[in-house]
Chain A
Amino acid sequence: GAGVSQSPSNKVTEKGKDVELRCDPISGHTALYWYRQSLGQGLEFLIYFQGNSAPDKSGLPSDRFSAERTGGSVSTLTIQRTQQEDSAVYLCASSLVTSGRGNEQFFGPGTRLTVL
């Protein structure tokens, strides 16, 4: 079956521009996670959704970052007024549930964002 998909796969933008990253989770997965990974670094948690609501926004680096999820499916991560330090691979993952059996997370291929 289809896995988690993300678009675009690569995005190059100029400093100060806004970008929107999209994630399509596995069908039926109620939980959706956004992470980012800078070059050679581990995962940095950004935000997660249970259904359409985001109980934990603590990982968002600044108020330039926002995310939404509609219909319990697709999610978009928006970065306003991008800065060079925003350059990273943005990874999306989904899981059937957030806790208990079935909470293993399945990742998409990521979006590589480069801010010039």
Chain B
Amino acid sequence: DAKTTQPTSMDCAEGRAANLPCNHSTISGNEYVYWYRQIHSQGPQYIIHGLKNNETNEMASLIITEDRKSSTLILPHATLRDTAVYYCIVRSNNNAGNMLTFGGGTRLMVKP
């Protein structure tokens, strides 16, 4: 799987949009971008994933650049409960049993 690079930490004011960047310049054509988060003392939580088109669900939006070398996860109205470590992962959807490998992630702190 391609390597990803994320900032170590970010702060966001409650109610504002949180924009979390991820670089994946070595991504290959069949690799998807996945985002998970892990709130303290909980298991990781799936957020969203995409290939090349922008995606939106009830939790977040995923914006992928045209060259697919970077992406941004957007939490439109961050709440205190969104404080967590956010992991950007690049993986192929074609490999059976492809386990997840988390890097360092971005520690997002949502402040009142």
- A residues adjacent to B (C-beta < 8 A): 4, 31, 33, 35, 42-43, 45, 48, 50, 55-56, 59, 91, 93, 98-101, 103-110
Q: Are A104 and B99 in contact (CB under 8 A)?
A: no
Q: Are B104 and A99 in contact (CB under 8 A)?
A: no
Q: Are A103 and B93 in contact (CB under 8 A)?
A: yes
A-B contact number at CB 8 A:
60
- B residues adjacent to A (C-beta < 8 A): 34, 42-46, 49, 93-104
Q: Are A105 and B100 in contact (CB under 8 A)?
A: yes
Tell me the smallest distance from the CB of B4 to a CB of chain A, in Å: 12
Most buried by A among B44, B45, B95: B44
Q: Are A31 and B101 in contact (CB under 8 A)?
A: no
Give the chain B neighbours of A100 by CB distance below 8 A.
Answer: 93-94
Q: Are B100 and A103 in contact (CB under 8 A)?
A: no
A-B contact pairs, 18 of them (CB 8 A): A33-B99, A35-B99, A43-B44, A45-B100, A45-B101, A48-B97, A56-B97, A59-B99, A91-B44, A98-B97, A101-B93, A104-B49, A106-B46, A107-B43, A107-B44, A107-B45, A108-B43, A109-B42
Separation of A34 and B37 alpha carbons in the complex (Å): 18
Contact of A99 among B42, B95, B101 (CB under 8 A): B95
**Closest chain B residue to A92, Cβ basis:** B43
Q: Are B102 and A50 in contact (CB under 8 A)?
A: no
Separation of A106 and B99 alpha carbons in the complex (Å): 12
Separation of A100 and B96 alpha carbons in the complex (Å): 8
Give the chain A neighbours of B96 by CB distance below 8 A.
Answer: 50, 55, 98-99
Separation of A80 and B49 alpha carbons in the complex (Å): 38
Q: Are A99 and B98 in contact (CB under 8 A)?
A: yes
